[in-house]
Amino acid sequence: MAVDHQIKIPATYVRGGTSKGVFFHLEDLPEAARQPGAVRDAILLRALGSPDPYGKQIDGMGNASSSTSKSVILARSTRPGHDVDYLFGQVSIDQPFVDWSGNCGNLSAAVGPVAIHMGLIDAARIPRNGEVTIRIWQANIGKTIVAHVPITDGQVQELGDFELDGVTFPAAEVRLEFLDPADEGEDGGAMFPTGKVVDRLEVPGIGTFDATLINAGIPTIFLNAADIGYSGRELQDDLNGDEAALARFETIRAHGALKMGLIKDLAEAATRQHTPKVAFVAPPSAYTSSSGKTVGTGDADLLVRALSMGKLHHAMMGTAAVAIGTAAAVPGTLVNLAAGGGERQSVRFGHPSGTLRVGAEAKQVNGDWQVTKALMSRSARILMEGWIRVPKSCLDAK
C-alpha cells in the first residue's frame, strides 16, 4: 500500500446563525481546488469527514447534521459594487457529494465578519467604532446580500446581548438584507414558478396536497401541517427517527422539485439534496421548544417546521426564513394564511428551538409579485482558526 501524507490548508471554523462551517480563502486552497471540480469537492468532503456510513463524521470537522456539515469559500470580489464573493457548499454526510445548488442564510451572517478577519476588506473602511456595511455576492444563486457588521475598538464585535433561539450563548447582532431574493440565479423563473400562490401537488402513492412553491432565499415547498398529519409543534425526535415519514417527505420534495422546474427527472432529486426545501406550516399554538422553553400561542404568528438534507431541522435555515418572510408578505400563500392572512411586512414564526422574526418588502407589478428585499438578524462567532489537514491524495481526485 502506497503511503499517503497530509497537507494543511488555512481555514477558519465559524458559527453563523444556527449553523457551523469551515471557511476557506480561495487563494489558500491548492491551485487545483481554486476552481470547481473533483479536487475541490474531495478536499471539502475529507475536511468535514464525509462520506461516513456511520453518519457521525468522526474523522472530520462535521458534526453529523445538515446544520454543521457546511463549507464556505470566500474571495475578494471583482464584481462592481461588491466587496466579497461567497460560495457555499453543503456537504453530504453519508454520500460523496457536495451540493452547490443554493445558499446558506445562517452562514451568510458570518461572511462579513470572516471577510474582515481574512483581510478581504480594506482596513481603511473599518471604523474605530460603529458599523461597516459589506456587500456580498452570493455566487451560488447570483444574488446580493448586504451585511451590517458591528465594530468595536477597530475589531469585529462578536460578543453581545443579541439572543437567537437555537444558539446557546448571546452574541453581537449582524443585520442582513437579502436583495431581490426571489430569482434563484441559474434556475431562473419567477418567484412562483407555476404562476400560482397555491398549487395542487400530486404525489403518487402519498396524496395530493395544497402547496405554495416559491423561489425566494431558497426554493421551498410549503405544505399545510394538518394535510400531512402533523400539528406544526413537532421537534426533531418526533420525525427524525421515523424512516417511513422521512421517505415520504423525500418523495414529496422530488415531485415538488419537478413541478418547480428545478429538475427534469425525479431521479435527479437524489443529486440535488440541498434544494428545494420542504416545510410545513400551521396556525400559532403553544408548545415546548427543544430547550424546554414554552412558546405561547401569542409568541408567534404561525408555526413552521422545515426539513434539510432529509431531516427535520433543529431550528430554521436562514434561507428558508427568507422564503417564509417572502411568502408571508404575499396574500393567499399557505404561509400567509397560516399567519392569519392579509398584508404584512414581517412575521414571527415558531420553530423547534423557539421563534424568529423575518421581514420582507413585497409588491405587485403587472400582476406579478416581486420582493425587493428580505431582512433578518443573526449573529456569528469565530470558533477556531488555523489549518485543516487532509490527505494529499485528495489532489489526485478525478
Classified as helix, coil or strand, 172 is coil
Q: What is the phi/psi pair of residue 180, to 5°? A: 45, 60
Q: Look up residue 171 and give its DSSP letter.
A: B
Omega before residue 51 within 30° of 0, cis: yes
Q: Are strands 6-16 and 380-391 parallel, antiparallel or unpaired?
A: antiparallel
**What 3-state DSSP class applies to 392?**
helix
Whose grid coordinates read 474605530? 128
Where do the DSSP E strands lie in 228-345? 277-282, 287-288, 294-295, 302-308, 311-312
Residues with catalytic annotation?
104, 317
Which residue is listed with cell 430554521?
Answer: 316
Dmax over Cα atoms in the chain, in whole Å?
A: 67
For 330, counting Cβ atoms within 10 Å of its Cβ (0-12 exposed, 13-18 middle, 19+ buried), the class is buried
Residue 295 near residue 303, CB atoms below 8 Å: no
Angle at 309 between CA 266 and CA 39, to 5 degrees: 90
What count of residues does the chain have? Answer: 398
Identity at 116, one-letter amino acid code: I
Could you tell me which residues are beta bridge partners of residue 131? 150
CB 115 within 8 A of CB 137: no
* Pairing verdict, β 354-365 and 302-308: unpaired
